[in-house]
Amino acid sequence: MLWNSIKSVASLLSSYGLLMVANAMFGTLLGLRSKLEGFSTEVTGVIKAGFFIGMLLGAFYAVRVVASAGHIRSFAAFASVMSVAVLAHVLIIDPVAWFFLRAITGFCMAGMVMIVESWLNERSTNATRGRVLSLYMITNYLGAGSGQFLITIANPDSFQLFSVASIIFSIALVPILLTRATAPKPSAPERMKFRDLVRISPVGVAGTLVAGLTNSAINSMGPIFAATIGLSLGQISTFMATILLGGMLLQFPVGRLSDLFDRRTILISSALATALVSGGIIWAAEEHYVLTLFAFCLIYGGFCYTIYPMSSAQVNDLADQDRLVQVSAGLLLAYGTGASIGPIVASQIMVRVGPNGLFYYVIGCTLFLAILAIIRVIQRPSGKKKAEFLPLGSLGSSSKQLYSSVAQETYEQETNRNDE
Q: Assign residue 404 the CATH number of its domain.
A: 1.20.1250.20
Which residue range(s) make up the domain with 325?
A: 7-419
In this prediction, residue 40 carries a pLDDT of 93
Q: Is there a domain that residue 187 lies in? A: yes
Q: Is there a domain that residue 87 lies in? A: yes
Q: Is there a domain that residue 330 lies in? A: yes
Q: Is there a domain that residue 61 lies in? A: yes
Q: Which of 313, 61, 286 is nearest to 189 (CA)?
A: 61
Q: Is there a domain that residue 28 lies in? A: yes
Q: If you count them, how many residues does the chain have?
A: 420
Q: What is the pLDDT along the chain (420 residues), one digit of tens a residue?
A: 545 555 657 788 888 899 999 999 999 999 999 999 999 999 999 999 999 999 889 877 887 888 888 888 888 899 999 999 999 999 999 999 999 999 999 999 888 888 887 777 777 666 666 677 777 888 888 999 999 999 999 999 889 999 999 999 999 888 887 776 666 665 555 666 778 788 888 888 999 999 999 999 999 999 999 999 999 999 999 999 999 999 888 877 887 787 777 788 889 999 999 999 999 999 999 999 999 999 999 999 999 988 888 888 788 777 776 666 677 778 888 888 999 999 999 999 999 999 999 999 999 999 999 999 999 888 876 655 555 666 666 555 555 555 555 555 665 555 555 555
In this prediction, residue 58 carries a pLDDT of 86
Q: Which amino acid is residue 191, in one-letter code?
A: R
Q: Is there a domain that residue 1 lies in? A: no
Predicted TM-score (pTM) of the model is: 0.88
Q: Is there a domain that residue 221 lies in? A: yes
Q: Is there a domain that residue 56 lies in? A: yes
Number of domains the chain is built from: 1
Does the CA dihedral 275-278-279-280 come out positive or negative?
A: positive
Determine the Cα–Cα distance for residues 24 and 149; give it in Å rounded to an integer: 10
